[in-house]
Amino acid sequence: MTKPSFKEALRFWFKLGCIGFGGPAGQIAIMHDFLVTERKWISESRFMHALNYCMILPGPEAQQLATYIGWLLHGTIGGVVAGMLFILPSVFILLGLSIIYVTFGTLPWVMAMMAGLKPAIIAIIIVALFKIGKKSLISSFHYGIAIIAFIAIYFFHIPFPLIVLSTLIIGFLITKFLPKTLNKENKNDDKKAKDESNFYLNSNSNDVKSEVNYKKSFMFVAIGIIFWIIPLGIIYQFSTDFAFWKTLCLFFSKAAFVTFGGAYAVLPYVAQESVEKFHWLTSHQMMDGLALGETTPGPLIMVLAFVGFQGAYNHFGFSILLGTIGLLLTVFYTFLPSFIFILVGAPIIEKTKENNQVKAVLGFVSAAVVGVLFNLVLYLAFSVLLPTKQFNSFDWAAAAWVIISFFALHKYKANLIVWLGISLIFGLVNYWLL
């Protein structure tokens, strides 16, 4: 397998940013289908190794995974471009929707079309669950951890970071005191390497320098700090209300470091602070923002951009221009740490790809992710199929579309873009019939 060109990679990362519906699970599924299954740019083992690292970081794991793989393929510039292209389409889409929202309010037919996507998104996540589960659940220990992770998050509402931390500790103890488990996982390493020989990046390849360069790491951290300061400096010079902008930038910088477990984990915190403490928007507007975020491509954490838009828009007397600046600043401060985490941490993680104990421990994280994904499936299924949480409100049409979409995508390998378009039409037709 030859190295994909930078131009080919650019096309895919931009395409991903435009069609990345379904939150992190759906986006990871799209990346897996294209990068691993279809193009064979990266093998299953390398893909999962990168994903496991991204899962233990704060921030949007799908965007960080894109940055990581972009770095693997084309170095620093490849990682930065991949991460940015993953974000930019959703930034402009959400900006446009935010302006429409404050100008015209929500349009019923648009929301109806987007509602048609939700059952398909559930199906995409179920397909991802099947694929990741098949690769990750390789022993009774892995099945046990997946079940425990699901019970912990679904029934006891244990935060995802705590689940990951507990899994890391359990995984370490298992590999430490039950080494036969480690041996079992690695007994087919030679066969795996052979099977992955047709992938550009595989378990034996080392196309990116993985040596830990502390000077370079320090440079990335320093650049990140400088980039963090520059917008605040500009605002200080030209704004007449620096206090508001400082509060907004500091708040979303803080939010970027507490987004363990994805957007759903941080949204309650953001909602409480932005609605009750800062009074940037109402609870109703917050729910509308979540709806817009869920029905647009890109990271679900992009809903924070809507909060930033509304905060500045309302604070400055309904100014669309300043609302736009608020949105852009929110995106900048939310995602800046993600790039630093990858550019600094990726070489360290790549250095561990041949460490069997590290691989085994991170493999247990993958098992926990399966349990968390199952929880996400149930969460979305209940919200879409039982909108009022009453059985008499069960959406039979949406349920049928989940099943149809699953078979279309999983069994018949329907083109994802085409199926998303069909789902938009389904939503519109369903709205007209009702």
Whether 333 shows a pLDDT value over 60: the answer reads: yes
Per-residue pLDDT tens for 211-264?
A: 677 888 999 999 999 999 999 999 999 998 999 999 999 999 988 886 655 565
Whether 434 shows a pLDDT value over 60: the answer reads: yes
CA dihedral in degrees (78, 80, 81, 86; nearest 10)?
A: 120
91 versus 301: which is more confidently predicted?
A: 91
> Would you place residue 183 in the very low, low, confident or very high pLDDT band (cuts 50, 70, 90)?
low
Q: Which residues, 6 or more positions from 271, have their beta carbon under 8 angstroms from its beta carbon? A: 283, 286
Q: Which residues, 6 or more positions from 262, have their beta carbon under 8 angstroms from its beta carbon? A: 23, 24, 60, 61, 160, 300, 301
Rounded to an integer, the average pLDDT of 94-115 is 78
Amino acid 185: pLDDT: 56
245 versus 101: which is more confidently predicted?
A: 245
Contact between 286 and 319 under an 8 Å Cβ cutoff? The reply is no
How far CA 199 is from CA of 168, 244, 354, in Å, comes to 29, 50, 17
Structure tokens at 105: 């309010």
Percent of the chain whose pLDDT exceeds 90:
34
Contact between 118 and 352 under an 8 Å Cβ cutoff? The reply is no
Amino acid 26: pLDDT: 73
**3-class SS at 391?**
helix
Rounded to an integer, the average pLDDT of 46-70 is 87
Whether 17 shows a pLDDT value over 60: the answer reads: yes
State phi, psi for 116 to the nearest 5 degrees. -65, -25
Rounded to an integer, the average pLDDT of 46-54 is 86
Amino acid 262: pLDDT: 58
Amino acid 390: pLDDT: 75
Whether 407 shows a pLDDT value over 90: the answer reads: yes
State phi, psi for 201 to the nearest 5 degrees. -105, 115
Amino acid 64: pLDDT: 93
Amino acid 414: pLDDT: 87
Per-residue pLDDT tens for 348-403?
A: 888 777 677 777 887 888 788 788 778 878 877 887 888 777 777 788 999 999 99
Report which residue type is found at 54. C
A 10 A CB-CB count for 139 gives 15
Percent of the chain whose pLDDT exceeds 70:
88
Whether 188 shows a pLDDT value over 80: the answer reads: no
State phi, psi for 236 to the nearest 5 degrees. -60, -35
Radius of gyration of the chain (CA): 22
Which range (70-84, 254-268, 278-292, 407-421) has the least confidence? 254-268
Amino acid 184: pLDDT: 55
DSSP one-letter code for 353: T
Whether 128 shows a pLDDT value over 80: the answer reads: no
Question: For residues 53 and 45, what is the distance between their CA atoms, to the nearest angstrom?
Answer: 13
Whether 268 shows a pLDDT value over 70: the answer reads: no
Per-residue pLDDT tens for 309-331?
A: 999 999 999 999 999 999 999 99
Count H helices and E strands in the chain, helices first.
18, 0
Length of the chain as a residue count: 434
Rounded to an integer, the average pLDDT of 399-411 is 93
Tell me how far the alpha carbon of residue 92 is from its chain's centroid: 18
179 versus 103: which is more confidently predicted?
A: 103
Question: For residues 41 and 36, what is the distance between their CA atoms, to the nearest angstrom?
Answer: 6
Does the pTM surpass 0.85? The reply is: no
Whether 76 shows a pLDDT value over 90: the answer reads: yes
Question: For residues 252 and 103, what is the distance between their CA atoms, to the nearest angstrom?
Answer: 25
Nearest to 363 by CA among 171, 183, 130: 171
Which range (5-9, 60-64, 176-180, 332-336) has the least confidence? 176-180
A 10 A CB-CB count for 204 gives 15
